[in-house]
Each structure stands twice: as structure tokens, then as C-alpha cells.
Homo-oligomer: A and B are copies of this chain.
């Protein structure tokens, strides 16, 4: 009884302090129910402009479309902010692949980005080489020398096929209470989604090469040895293919390279094991866009009134990988943020502070667009620019199609408490609270570019649905993977929370100079 009273009193206190505008929240819900644009936006970003690889004309067209659409919705100052990506743009235009002997089949694969085209159809007997996994430089050098005559004029499969056992464990779709509480208690990353490849790789044993180092030397060896095509094993179940990039971004340093679905890779490897002569053929047309060296973040605003110089930001990355159309990563995140801005714009009320939406490029290449923006506009806590003190917070979303379940803010607990008050009215939509983070480590997604600078990046935690298991960077990341109701609900929640931070009397509590964590040097793990 005593406790209940205390809790009640505490709730009243927060409510009183935060003065949530229930009327606005109701309007946001009604507008979304009546006039949602979020799936139409997603359709354009995916079906029409996907994949939106940074530096490609697809990405630029998507950015311009988003800019123009937000202008049409009434947002102000919508524009592209250019920054120096430093690499050309790249797109695959068409690719076909076949096994032609001793069996005939059409191959399912994706092209590794920033790799060259074949010169017409590349046909050859396939060879599988199996380089050592964690060699010393001496061991790798010896292996490369011993195998150098195998690859000339050949389609080269690199590595034994991965055996991906039939999975008997159901994938979690909604975040369960345990996972939610873990996230709310500050575990589960600095607010971003993280991801299988975002974990820093284990440090190699002393004297051993990293996988990336081995890979780079293999690529050079294949170029020098005159290989026709490099074939990697997708190593995923159910025909899923995940393809990243040639890390050098230099097409001269690699041969045409594909990631072949595990079923096809395994089949061919098993036939080779039988001593069969397997013939393959790939015909790949990629296109390079030198103008992609300059790329763009999309920025638009809803101007504030009495506190117009203070800014609440929201955003996500617009760029994608190229194996599909980039729906869950992060077409839907961009669409939800645009939708949240549209909902606020539809209120017919002006916020006190300026609300600014940003859709980043080159998140997938290392959060580069958001880092460039933070550097340009805000600097860091240690070396601030004029605007540093004016940013209330930056909301980011980048974990797929699921509902928003919680928020993690870089700052003191008081900042999380404010955010929780703003989110509590949406408990019926699945939101369970907010947590605070002290980490200035980058990783996962763009909110951490703000955290790194000492700014209040807010990472929104979402229901996983099929994100890491199925859609994340794969050939299945399409419009069909989206749960429209979840995307609509997320848009409402974000709009409500942004509106609250844009209109409360105070800015969001920040770390004092004494509380501010030390910056994390780039590359530190």
C-alpha cells in the first residue's frame, strides 16, 4: 500500500513535470490511421530507388525524391548536404551464372560490391582452393606459392563449403520481456542494433594474420594469377545471400567476385570432391560512377518558434547494401522518420524548437555520413562548434520493421527519465521505457556518431521480427518483409517523443563536464 502510494506520487510528479500533450498524441494517432504514407514512402525508396548503395545514382535519386517529398509535405529547407565519400559509386546492372557440366543449373548469387565486371561470359572449369584460416604470414606466403598455378583462367571457389545444419530453433519475432528488460538495463549495445558483423573480430593470435588480411592477399593473388572469377560461399540457410564489398573500393585489386548461395556452392564442391570436372559460367555487368565520390545526406526542417535555435533531430540511414532493395535496412527506418516528420507537420502547430530530419549516406561503410555531419555541425564535447550546445537530442532508427519497444539515450539517467515520460503514453503500442548510456563508442548505427561526440544520440530498440536472421543485408531485404502496422505505430511513437522534446521548457539533461565519459579513440575495441 505504502509502496503503491509512493509509486503513484512519483508518477504524478513526473507527469506534472513533463506535461505530456495528450491532445497532440491523439492527433498523431488519428492522422497516421487516416492518411499513413509510410508504405508509399517505403515503396519508392525500395521498389523504385533500391538498392541505394552509397555513391550510386540510385542513392542520389532516392535522396532527391525524399527531399522533394518532404518539401511537398511542407517541411522547410529540405536539401542535400554533400560530403566527400572518396570512392566511386558502383552498381551491378545484370548478372547470370550457370553450372554447365556435368549438370546444368542456374546459379543463385549476388555480386560483391566494388568488384569488376567479367569480360563477357567467363567460362571455365571450376577449382576450389582452401586457404589456411589463421595463418602466419610465412604460412600464407608458402600456401599462395604452392597453389599459384591452380587459378589461371579459372573460376575459383575459395574455401570449403560451410555446413549450415537444419535449424530447429524458432526465431524470436517479438522482443520478449526478458530481452526487453536486458535492453532497458543498459545491456545489448549502445542503443543501436549492432549486428553479427559489428562485433569486433577476435584479435588474432600474435603473429597470425586476420581474416581481412588473408582475404586481401588472396584477392591480390587471384588478380596476379589471372583468375576469371572469385566465388565465395554464402554460408546461410534457405538460399539466403549476404554480400558486402571489396574493402579496398579499388576494382583493380580484385577479380570479379560473387557470393554463391550455400546450396549451389555445396553442390559444386561435393561434385568436385567426387573428382568430377565441373564447368561454370558467369556473365556480370557492373557499372562504376566516378561522381559518387561526392555523396549526400538529406536534411529538412520544421522550424521552431520561441526556441528555434535549439534543435531536436531525428533520422536514419538512407543508403543500403545491394543484394535486395534495402527495405528493413533501412528503407523502413527512413520511411518511419519521414512519416514522423510528416505527422508533426500535419498537426498545424509549430514546435518551440526546430525539428530537423536527416537521412544519412554511407552508414553501411562505417557511419560515414552521420560522422561527417556531426563533425561539420557540432564538433565534439572536447572541441565544440557553436551548434554543439543547441542540439537537444538525435533520434535514430535502424533495426528493421519492428515496433519501437524502448529507447536508449546517451546521457545521465535524468535524460532517460524524460524520454520515458515522453514514451509512456504509447505503452499500448508496445513501448516499455528508456535507458541511459555512457558509451561514446561508435558501432551499430548512426546514433553512435552523436554519442561519440558527447551528444545525446537516442537509439530506438525494436522488435526483431526477422531482422538478423533473414533480412539484414540479404537478398531477401525487400518491401515484402515489412509489417505495415508496426511501421505505422513506430512512426506515431517517434513523432510523439520528438514533439515532446521539441516543446518542453528545458533541453534534455546532459552530462556535466565531470560526468562526461572520455572519448573513445577510433579503432579502439
Contacts and interface: CB of A to CB of B under 8 A. Distances in A.
B266 A465 contact: no
Interface in A237-283: 237-240, 262-263, 266-267, 270-271, 274, 276
B104 A263 contact: no
A138 interface: no
Interface in A94-122: 94-96, 98, 100, 102-104, 106, 108
Given A237-B480, A263-B476, A43 B325 contact: no
A480 B262 contact: yes
Contacts of A324: 263
Interface stretch (A129-137, A166-174, A210-218, A309-317): A166-174
A483 B165 CA distance: 7
Interface string A159-201: 0000011101011011000000000000000000000000000
Contacts of A174: 168
A270 B43 contact: yes
Contacts of A478: 263, 266-267
A470 interface: yes
Interface in A501-518: none
Nearest to A94: B98
A238 B103 contact: no
A475 interface: yes
| Consensus secondary structure, chain A interface | loop
A476 B276 CA distance: 23
B47 A271 contact: yes
B263 A480 contact: yes
A476 B168 CA distance: 17
B475 A401 contact: no
Interface range on chain A: under 10, 10 to 19, 20 to 34, or 35 or more? 35 or more
A48 interface: yes
Nearest to A267: B47
A43 to B, nearest CB: 6
Contacts of A325: 267
B270 A47 contact: yes
A466 interface: yes
Contacts of A401: 166
A238 B102 contact: no
A150 interface: no
Interface string A72-106: 00000000000000000001111110101011101
Contacts of A106: 92, 94-96
A69 interface: no
Contacts of A475: 108, 239
A102 B61 CA distance: 12
A466 B166 contact: yes
A96 B96 contact: yes
Contacts of A390: none
A479 B263 contact: yes
A519 B50 CA distance: 58
A481 interface: yes
A324 B108 CA distance: 11
Nearest to A466: B166
A417 to B, nearest CB: 33
Given A237-B480, A479-B267, A480-B266, A91 B104 contact: yes
Nearest to A103: B48
A473 to B, nearest CB: 15
Contact of A48 (B102, B170, B263): B102
Given A94-B98, A94-B104, A476 B266 contact: no
A71 to B, nearest CB: 20
A470 B237 CA distance: 11
A428 to B, nearest CB: 19
Given A43-B270, A267-B478, 10 more contacts: A46-B267, A48-B274, A96-B96, A96-B106, A166-B482, A166-B483, A170-B171, A238-B470, A262-B480, A270-B479
Interface of A: 43, 46-48, 50, 91-96, 98, 100, 102-104, 106, 108, 164-166, 168, 170-171, 173-174, 237-240, 262-263, 266-267, 270-271, 274, 276, 324-325, 401, 465-466, 470, 475-476, 478-483
